[in-house]
Chain A
């Protein structure tokens, strides 16, 4: 079951008085159920702040955010979150790490056996289930982290630059897996990235965020066919979308 997110004039200011840092907003955005929305912007523009506020891990200074019509107050256990630095713990194997998500939620691990196998297979880690994170490459670790994020079946995914630390080839690979997973499940996704190409390739809509204090300056519908394979990426329209976003950043002097 996919579900929507409503961000209403949400704003975040860190600190008080003269030292206050205006990190984000106020901005408004509605993410429909089953949408894949990317937030693109220069570093320090408050993209991660929006994520944390949506997850309920950070309170809005003003405005509000609601998920499925319910206002976010405190950590949202219904969402799946993923960060640039993965949350795999070094003392557990890949499978153990996926199970950690279930155990922390008090879910019955045994009833998720099949789901875990399915997820591992879908990211090509079926032969690495009993390996420890340090035995895996950065890309494989991030794939394992995807399984950890998805295992309890969250209807909403908040992905904060999950591919940020990977090399270009691995990124491309995992992007394809991520797209396949999303096309399969159609969960609601907010995806933070600073890669324009990545945003255009994966999203139904791209939100362009201005430099600090970050505001959602423009929302662009990406009307390209699925799956967005190499042919789509080489198409003129793909280039047009990327160019349009690039122009905006060029206007800010960040590109």
Chain B
């Protein structure tokens, strides 16, 4: 019976096919997701938890909808800070990683410096940048840049420095020029490891922007969450957190999508197809 029904379901295809496939594959997750919020709503009702401690999900939606204009605008602000800082980090870190991978001078000087800086919580610099540069966009972009830069540069160094011995010899035996070798072999070979850094940094980006806003700002979701919490409005704080989650998912999702197009041949992508 089960086989017959799945055989019949296959040709329904059309535009709903991806949705049907998603539900069929992850209905357990959907069930858990819905169940979580139902349990939350129920617990608040059953245990009479006061709304200034923990609001019901339904209240969060209602209050959030009232303040939606501000929330969307602030999402845009935090999103811009995250994306700008991230893009600057990628633009600087990849070429620098490449340079360090191929220069023994840089590997002995700047590389150990980067490794020790990687151990420093970058966010500790945030108050300094705010005091130097004020409340505007720039200090946030710099802080996002800092939290994104190191994972990208360290993974890029690893990526460009680890071509297999066989490939290295194969390429040398062809007598190919450095440029040709780079574009035909080294660059594509380095992509999977680079994307490890890109994805890690994508997660860091919104976290960095939010904390930077906590420390000093007059707009953005981090700012918003801090203000509404001070005003005893955890329902609005949760609405802000929900949008931050969406923002983080969006940034990570875009990077993952780019990865899928950039390196469809890589083992990390094959299972998805």
Instruction: Answer yes or no: are A and B bound together in one complex.
Output: yes
By a beta-carbon cutoff of 8 Å, the part of chain A in contact with chain B is 52, 55-57, 75-77, 79, 81, 83, 85-87, 89-92, 100-101, 103-106, 132, 134
- Give the docked Cα–Cα distance between A154 and B12 (Å): 55
- Give the docked Cα–Cα distance between A91 and B188 (Å): 7
Chain A's closest residue to B188 (CB) is: A91
Main secondary structure of the interface of A (DSSP, over half): loop
Q: Is the CB of B167 within 8 A of A77?
A: no
Chain B 184-196 interface 0/1 with A at a Cβ cutoff of 8 Å (1 = within): 1100110100000
A79 and B180 in contact (CB under 8 A), knowing A87-B166, A91-B188?
no
A105 and B174 in contact (CB under 8 A), knowing A89-B188, A90-B265?
yes
Chain B 168-208 interface 0/1 with A at a Cβ cutoff of 8 Å (1 = within): 01111111100011001100110100000000000000000
Question: Which listed residue, B173, B181, B184, touches A77 by the CB 8 Å rule?
Answer: B173
Chain B's closest residue to A51 (CB) is: B169
Q: Is the CB of B184 within 8 A of A57?
A: no
Question: Which listed residue, B173, B184, B263, touches A76 by the CB 8 Å rule?
Answer: B173
B270: chain A residues at CB < 8 Å are 134
A81 and B173 in contact (CB under 8 A), knowing A87-B167, A89-B167, A91-B263?
yes
Q: Is the CB of B267 within 8 A of A81?
A: no
Asked whether B266 is an interface residue with its Cβ less than 8 Å from the other chain, the reply is: yes
B164: chain A residues at CB < 8 Å are 85
A103: chain B residues at CB < 8 Å are 180, 184
New contact pairs (19) apart from A75-B175, A89-B185, A89-B188, CB-CB < 8 Å: A52-B169, A55-B169, A77-B174, A79-B173, A81-B173, A83-B170, A85-B166, A87-B167, A89-B189, A91-B191, A91-B266, A101-B174, A103-B184, A104-B174, A104-B176, A104-B180, A104-B184, A134-B265, A134-B267
By a beta-carbon cutoff of 8 Å, the part of chain B in contact with chain A is 164, 166-167, 169-176, 180-181, 184-185, 188-189, 191, 263, 265-267, 270
B180: chain A residues at CB < 8 Å are 103-104, 106
- Give the docked Cα–Cα distance between A75 and B175 (Å): 7
Main secondary structure of the interface of B (DSSP, over half): helix
A77 and B175 in contact (CB under 8 A), knowing A134-B265, A134-B267?
yes
- Give the docked Cα–Cα distance between A239 and B185 (Å): 45
What's the least CB distance linking A127 to chain B, in Å?
20
Question: Which listed residue, B171, B173, B265, touches A55 by the CB 8 Å rule?
Answer: B173
- Give the docked Cα–Cα distance between A123 and B244 (Å): 56
- Give the docked Cα–Cα distance between A161 and B115 (Å): 40
B184: chain A residues at CB < 8 Å are 100, 103-104
B174: chain A residues at CB < 8 Å are 77, 101, 104-105
B265: chain A residues at CB < 8 Å are 90-92, 132, 134
The 9 closest A-B pairs by CB, nearest first: A77-B175, A104-B176, A87-B170, A104-B174, A91-B265, A75-B172, A83-B166, A91-B188, A85-B166
What's the least CB distance linking B180 to chain A, in Å?
6
Q: Is the CB of B166 within 8 A of A104?
A: no
Could you pull out 29 A-B pairs where Cβ atoms are within 8 angstroms?
A: A55-B169, A55-B173, A57-B172, A76-B173, A77-B175, A81-B169, A81-B170, A81-B173, A83-B170, A85-B164, A85-B166, A86-B166, A87-B167, A87-B170, A89-B185, A89-B188, A90-B265, A90-B266, A91-B188, A91-B191, A91-B263, A92-B265, A103-B184, A104-B171, A104-B185, A105-B174, A105-B175, A106-B180, A134-B267
A77: chain B residues at CB < 8 Å are 173-175
Q: Is the CB of A83 within 8 A of B181?
A: no
What's the least CB distance linking B92 to chain A, in Å?
26
Chain A's closest residue to B174 (CB) is: A104
- Give the docked Cα–Cα distance between A100 and B119 (Å): 41
Chain A's closest residue to B263 (CB) is: A91
B263: chain A residues at CB < 8 Å are 91
- Give the docked Cα–Cα distance between A86 and B267 (Å): 17
- Give the docked Cα–Cα distance between A83 and B184 (Å): 20
- Give the docked Cα–Cα distance between A76 and B170 (Å): 11
- Give the docked Cα–Cα distance between A87 and B270 (Å): 20
A134: chain B residues at CB < 8 Å are 265, 267, 270
- Give the docked Cα–Cα distance between A161 and B148 (Å): 44
B167: chain A residues at CB < 8 Å are 87, 89
A57: chain B residues at CB < 8 Å are 169, 172-173
